[in-house]
Amino acid sequence: MHATEALKEADRLMTICNSCRYCEGLCAVFPAMELRREFGDADLNYLANLCHGCGACYTDCQFSPPHEFAVNVPAVLAKVRNDSYLSYAWPPALKLLFGANGMVVGLLTATCISLFLLGFVGWSAGGEMFAVHAGPGAFYRLMSHNAMALLFGLAFAYALAAMAMGARTFWLGSRPPAISPDDAAMAVSDVATLRYLGGGGAGCDVDDAGKDRRRLYHHLTFYGFLLCFAATSVATLYHYLLGMEAPYPPYDLPVVLGSVGGIGLIIGPIGLLHQKLRRGAHLGDARAFGMESAFVLLLVATSVTGFALLLARETAAMGVLLAVHLGVVLSLFLLLPYSKMVHGLYRGLALLRSAAERRAHRQQGNTA
């Protein structure tokens, strides 16, 4: 028995696919499916998070609609996947945030920005907010570095803790396999290259509209995000280890990393959104449009507000722009466990499980 209609439908499809197996060369989902004969909710959640939604199995399927078997694996697994985010949310009560996620992201971001604006106006000395500041330590006349580090450190630690709890629930949902270093290396490589967003080599769902470029845009987004994170980390080291205070000159490492990453974080998410709009709605979960587009826009906003701050940091607009940028980033941090961001977490773990299961199966075959 299954908890939802989507899980029930996923069970029906996996039973069909497991009797066919023509798609086993396309991605990791079908080989993982072949290691099972029955599909409980935990198995289906795992397979759903393993699915990258590339769409190749839909266009290749002889049983897709209008065939009476009506097989649409990407759409059904997208529904199961999005539902699974709720069941792994920590604390469980906050799964509500996934309900109207687009609105949640918007409201929280607006709230964070407002609090920074009010805070700067209220707590900084009169007129500081709209004054021109320049040179090292300019930002910290509005908010001390320690206060900033504490606030964002706490927010990030909370996000990590909440995601760790979600990861734990996901991992223990079914019996965890033993993990070898090779499995971990394989999973990291699968994530880093987005191996399974390639339809097994033919590319993602290629239709009359032309080639799907989600892998490229996702790379820009993912590596852009990592570079921005690296920029922040380097700046923190500069501050505490070298005693160098922000803002840094345009040629310095934090600004270079942040700028390169920031460009990726603008082109990537917008490209992903464009691909999503262009792609057939029949391949996804329409309910998740708010969640997906809100997260993508939040990433763009992080980058755009960062660039605005970089360009206007020596003008009177700096205070407002800093408040807006920090508000967006705080919102992003707080929402990591309750946004589309969790897809990376569960997919990474699913890939790790898949690597371990396949290795165990191979070894079993060799000793049998």
Partner 1 sequence: MESWDQHYDTLVVGGGNAALCAAIAAARGGARVLVVEAAPKFYRGGNTRHTRNMRCAHAKATHTLTGPYTQDEFYDDLLKVTGGKTDPELARLMIGESEDMLDWIVEQGVRWQPSLGGTLSLGRTNSFFLGGGRAMLNALYATAERLGVTIRYDAEIVDLTIEDGFFLNAIVAHDNKRHAVTAATLIAASGGFEANIAWLKEGWGEAADNFLIRGTPYNKGTVLKLLLDKGVGAIGDATQCHAVAIDARAPKFDGGIITRLDCVVFGIVVNRRAERFYDEGEDIWPKRYAIWGRLVAAQPEQIAYIIFDAPCLEQFMPSLYPPIRAETIGDLAGKLDLDGATLEKTITGFNAAVRPGTFDHTILDDCRTEGLHPAKSHWARRIETPPFYAYPVRPGITFTYLGTRVNAQARMMMADGKPSANMFAAGEIMAGNVLGQGYAAGIGMTIGSVFGRIAGREAARHARN
Q: For residues 29 and 227, which CB has a smaller minimum distance to partner 1 in the complex?
A: 29
Residue 20 interacts with partner 1 (CB under 8 A): yes or no: yes
Which string of DSSP letters, residue by residue, matches 72-132? -HHHHHHHHHHHHHHHH-SSGGGGGGGTTHHHHHHHHHHHHHHHHHHHHHHHSPTTGGGS-
Using CA atoms, how far residue 25 sits from 57, 198, 202, 300, in Å, is 10, 11, 11, 35
Residue 197 interacts with partner 1 (CB under 8 A): yes or no: no
Which among 175, 165, 173, 177 is positioned nearest to 41, based on CA atoms? 173
- Taken in order 4, 22, 278, 69, the sign of the CA dihedral is negative
- Taken in order 144, 154, 314, 108, the sign of the CA dihedral is negative
Query: How far is Cα 326 from Cα 216, in angstroms, rounded to an integer?
Result: 28
Residue 362 interacts with partner 1 (CB under 8 A): yes or no: no
Query: How far is Cα 125 from Cα 142, in angstroms, rounded to an integer?
Result: 8
Q: For residues 119 and 199, which CB has a smaller minimum distance to partner 1 in the complex?
A: 199
Residue 210 interacts with partner 1 (CB under 8 A): yes or no: no
Residue 62 interacts with partner 1 (CB under 8 A): yes or no: yes
Residue 211 interacts with partner 1 (CB under 8 A): yes or no: no
Using CB under 8 A as the binding criterion, the count of chain residues that bind partner 1 stands at 29
Quick one: DSSP state of residue 283?
A: G
Which range in 23-31, 279-287, 305-313, 338-346 contacts partner 1 by CB under 8 A?
A: 23-31
Residue 111 interacts with partner 1 (CB under 8 A): yes or no: no
Residue 10 interacts with partner 1 (CB under 8 A): yes or no: no
Residue 61 interacts with partner 1 (CB under 8 A): yes or no: yes
Q: Contact with partner 1 (CB under 8 A): which of 18, 124, 232, 236?
A: 18
CB of 257 to partner 1, least distance (A): 39
Q: Which residue has the tokens 């939802």?
A: 4
CB of 84 to partner 1, least distance (A): 24
Q: Contact with partner 1 (CB under 8 A): which of 2, 4, 40, 63?
A: 63
Q: Contact with partner 1 (CB under 8 A): which of 4, 8, 16, 42?
A: 16
Residue 68 interacts with partner 1 (CB under 8 A): yes or no: yes
Query: How far is Cα 309 from Cα 186, in angstroms, rounded to an integer?
Result: 39
Per CB under 8 A, residues contacting partner 1 are 15-16, 18-26, 31, 34, 37, 56-57, 59-63, 66-69, 199-202
